[in-house]
Amino acid sequence: MRKPLIVFTGAVYPGQFGLLCDYLRNAGLAETYFLTTPGHQKRNAHRGAHILGFQPDGPIVGDVGYYYARKVERSSRIGRGLHAALDQFQKIRKIDVVVCHSLWGAPHLLFDEIDAAIVSYVEFPSYHAHGWDPDYPPDLSQRHADRLTEMLNFHQVLKSDLTLCPSAYAKSMFPSELRGRVEVQFEGLDFDLDTPMRTAQSPDHRFTIGFAARDLSNAKGVDVFIRLVDKLLARGIDARFVAIGDPDAKTYGYEAQWVQRTYKGEVKNFCEHVLRQHPRAAEAIEFIGKLPYDAYVSRLEEVDMFLYPLRHGVGNWGLMEVLARGGCVLAPNRGYTAEMIFDDVNGRLLPDDDDAWIEEILALRNDPERRLRYRRAARTLGLRYHIKSVAPRYMQLFNQAVANRRERIGAPA
């Protein structure tokens, strides 16, 4: 029986689904290829001949195009390049499934143009649905731009043979009329399954409370973390505090524009703004910054308790990696964190109440046995998200997309 031929698309490689593409190929589950831009193809040529190039129809980075429709225009330039590349590919080989990213490999110019099932990945439909802190709202131009992106995402869900999103919480952001076309699947992670979880620290270790996220942002709750550290210091806690992540990374909110407009360059980023309000915490927190992956993993093992006071989001591989590596995590009892953490099983889910967080931090600080119980359960649950575990589910979804297309066009089974 012929293996399905799946082409993943994205302007960035490995990006979304690069790991899955490689794993399915190496495991013999499918014949896979990844279409990416020429620069990424060249930089990753050593990974294999299955990484192919496509040429977007014009520039896709920088301030190109009409501001309000910039993301739609970028997607169109990508889509034009993808269509040309896929059209040439199909002259040689039959494609069963094309997997597209909603913004970096948008399929809207592929519908009814290629002979393959189309699967879209849409992280969330719009920032209007995603939410933002009312203290740092978008301006009118950003709201208008967001609407055009939302329009593009809704169209993809409507026309794709199947759409994937990372969490049930993300799925709930789509209109009820579209949710039946959306399936939930969190992306797989790759880590050493045989590495034992650390269960003890060195004798000179100081109890460490940490925050870890790609972006030290309002959406991830770095401001809440800093505020909690300030209150813990006021209570006299003896601990080390670390924050791992990039304070200048692009965020899922609008706080950066507020900082820029308010301080006019005097303050570099949102994190610095918050630290001005909490000088005691500013003195105590060690900001480690963005790290190479191996160094990041090593730092995770030094942290006894992670605070993840998420404000907005739809799924985060960073949180799942912390859990899969046996991190003890405290998180809000809402949003997607409730899909990854089961309260008092593999972590704690807490209300949006600083006092509740402080009391639980202090209680866990003095309860190493409970922390170890959470960590062991977190690692067990996290292993379910290893690429080896999720790959069969992805294959089921891709086969479902093929069946959906067959039914849609009236093709025989």
The residue with tokens 């995590």 is 329
pLDDT above 70 covers a percentage of the chain that reads 100
**Mean pLDDT score of the chain:** 94
Query: What would the mean pLDDT of 399-413 be, rounded to a whole number?
Result: 91
Q: What is the dihedral of CA 177, 180, 181, 183, to 10 degrees?
A: 130
Considering only CA atoms, which of 133, 342, 159, 162 is closest in space to residue 253? 133
Q: What angle do CA 18, 20, 22 make, to 5 degrees?
A: 70
Going by C-alpha positions, the residue among 188, 183, 229, 180 that lies closest to residue 209 is 229
Mean pLDDT of 23-47: 96
- pLDDT for 316 equals 82
pLDDT digits (tens, 9 = 90+) for 48-61: 999 999 999 999 98
For the chain, give the percent of residues with pLDDT over 90.
Answer: 85
Q: Is the peptide bond before 14 cis (omega within 30 degrees of 0)?
A: yes
Residue-level pLDDT at 382: 83
**What pLDDT is stored for residue 318 in this prediction?**
85
d(Cα 178, Cα 198) in Å, to the nearest integer?
44
Do 85 and 107 contact (CB within 8 A), yes or no?
no
User: Quick one: pLDDT band at residue 193, thresholds 50, 70, 90?
Assistant: low
What confidence score (pLDDT) does residue 191 get? Answer: 80
Contacts of 49 (CB under 8 A, 6+ apart): none
- Whether residue 155 is predicted with pLDDT greater than 80 in this model: the reply is yes
Tell the residue number behind the tokens 């590919």, with chain if given: 89
Q: Give the span between the Cα atoms of 79 and 81, in whole angstroms.
A: 5
Class of domain 5-190+386-409: alpha beta
CA 158 to chain centre: 23
- Tell me: the pLDDT tens digits for 77-131? 999 999 999 999 999 999 999 999 998 888 999 999 999 999 999 999 999 999 9
315-371 pLDDT, tens digit per residue, is 888 898 899 999 999 999 999 999 999 999 999 999 999 999 999 999 999 999 999
Phi, psi of 232 (to 5 degrees): -65, -40
Q: Provide the strand spans (E) within 185-328.
A: 208-215, 240-246, 285-289, 305-307
How is the chain split among helix, strand and coil, in percent rounded to 5? 45, 15, 40
- Give strand ranges (E) for 253-411: 285-289, 305-307, 329-332, 348-350
The CATH number of domain 208-385, selected from 3.40.50.1370, 3.40.50.2000, 3.20.20.370, 3.90.850.10: 3.40.50.2000
Question: What does the domain layout of the chain look like in residue ranges?
Answer: 5-190+386-409, 208-385
In the prediction, which pLDDT does 157 show?
Answer: 97
Q: Tell me how far apart the alpha carbons of residues 40 and 285 are, in angstroms, rounded to a whole number.
A: 37
pLDDT at 413 over 80: no
pLDDT at 378 over 80: yes
pLDDT tens for each residue of 216-226: 999 999 999 99
Q: What is the mean pLDDT of the segment spanning 259-267?
A: 93
pLDDT tier, 65 (very low <50, low <70, confident <90, very high otherwise): confident
Judged against a pLDDT cut of 90, whether residue 15 lies above it is answered with no
The string of pLDDT tens digits covering residues 269-313 is 999 999 999 999 999 999 999 999 889 988 998 999 999 999 999
Q: Please say whether the beta carbons of 371 and 305 come within 8 A.
A: yes
